[in-house]
Chain A
Amino acid sequence: MPERELDAIDRAIINGLQGGFPLVPEPYAAAAASLGLSEGELLGRLERLLADGTLTRFGPLFQIERLGGAFCLAAMAVPEADFERVAGLVNAFPEIAHNYARNHRLNMWFVLATEQPAEIAATADAIAAATGYPVLTFPKEREFFVDLRLQA
């Protein structure tokens, strides 16, 4: 639950800064000017939105495949009684970029990100060994569209 309602300035920042943060020496001043804010106000707002969890991150989003690495979606069917333990074990792997609980027999879905493509299978095997449950991997065979920019 949000601790605080987002106001118009928060929404303008979230909608206006999902990409295009400038690569110039004083980027906050430049971004603030385009939003009609002062640099100090933008910095203060970002700090607050990060602290209260409205933003999970602020910075570059890397596409590791263009850096020689790999991403892979994977899933497991975990009994409810064992779910928290397994989530802890899975999340402890630094290769896990995201992990979501989902309402299906396959109820834990996560994304592996590794620096070398060969590490995907090794990491999936290591997770299966650590948790005792099989890991199904779903490597992407083709990407049709990726652009997640949600309106606040």
Chain B
Amino acid sequence: MSDTMDDLDRRIVQATQGGLPLVARPYAAIAGQLGIAEAVLLERLQAMLARGAIRRIGVVPNHYRLGYRANGMTVWDIDDAVVDRVGAFVGGLAGVSHCYRRPRRLPDWPYNLFAMVHARSHDEALQQIETIAERVAAEFGAVVARRDVLFSTRILKKTGLRLAADRPDRQES
């Protein structure tokens, strides 16, 4: 199990990254375009799903259109000694969709833990964040030096991954 793509995987990513065709046999359509058998394509996709190279196959909704107008990136400056334990705890709370430890960028940016929350209003998001802070304090004590929330005000781009059509350093078979 290697974390790399061979040429066929790469062509499959290119052919499907923009979406599956809305036809009765979408995999046959893509396989035809790639010049491979439908069964080979299905096997490759299954293998990528199994090794986590595909997270999931399905719909990707626009948060705003579903009424989630308050999409907050909460950021926390947490004692380095406990940040990983706090991260695992926060990541397990309901309503948190992503949670990562990232480097501080002093002096511009003192925060080392990022967690995304999605709510229908700012008030609801702020209430969620307050609850997270209370639960962290109850579990770990005063480990948060400061925190902030950055709400998205506009989606400027949301295409997802796009591999370039061709790479000069690769031979297409």
Q: What is A's interface to B at a CB cutoff of 8 Å?
A: 2, 6, 13-14, 17-21, 23-29, 39, 43, 46-47, 49-50, 52-68, 73, 87, 90-91, 94, 96-104, 106, 108-110, 113, 115, 136, 138-152
Contact = CB atoms under 8 A, between A and B. Distances in A.
Leading 6 A-B pairs by shortest Cβ distance: A145-B91, A144-B91, A19-B56, A99-B156, A66-B53, A99-B157
Given A23-B42, A64-B161, A141-B102, 5 more contacts: A19-B56, A27-B27, A90-B157, A97-B162, A148-B97
A28 B62 CA distance: 21
Interface of B: 3-5, 9, 13, 16-20, 22-28, 38, 42, 45-46, 48-49, 51-63, 65-66, 68, 71, 73, 84, 87-88, 90-92, 96-103, 105, 108-109, 114, 116, 118, 148, 150-164, 167
A20 B58 contact: yes
Given A20-B56, A144-B99, A25 B18 contact: no
Contacts of A152: 61, 66
B56 A61 contact: yes
B53 A150 contact: no
B80 to A, nearest CB: 11
Contact of B101 (A90, A91, A140, A146): A140
A100 B154 contact: yes
Contact of B97 (A43, A52, A100, A147): A147
Contacts of A60: 16-17, 20, 45, 48-49, 54, 56-57
Contact of A102 (B16, B92, B108, B153): B153
A67 B59 contact: no
A73 B102 contact: yes
A113 B161 CA distance: 6
Given A103-B151, A104-B148, A67 B5 contact: yes
Contacts of B99: 143-146
A150 B68 contact: yes
Contacts of A56: 60-62, 158-160
B118 A150 contact: yes
A53 B73 contact: no
A100 B155 contact: yes
B20 A102 contact: no
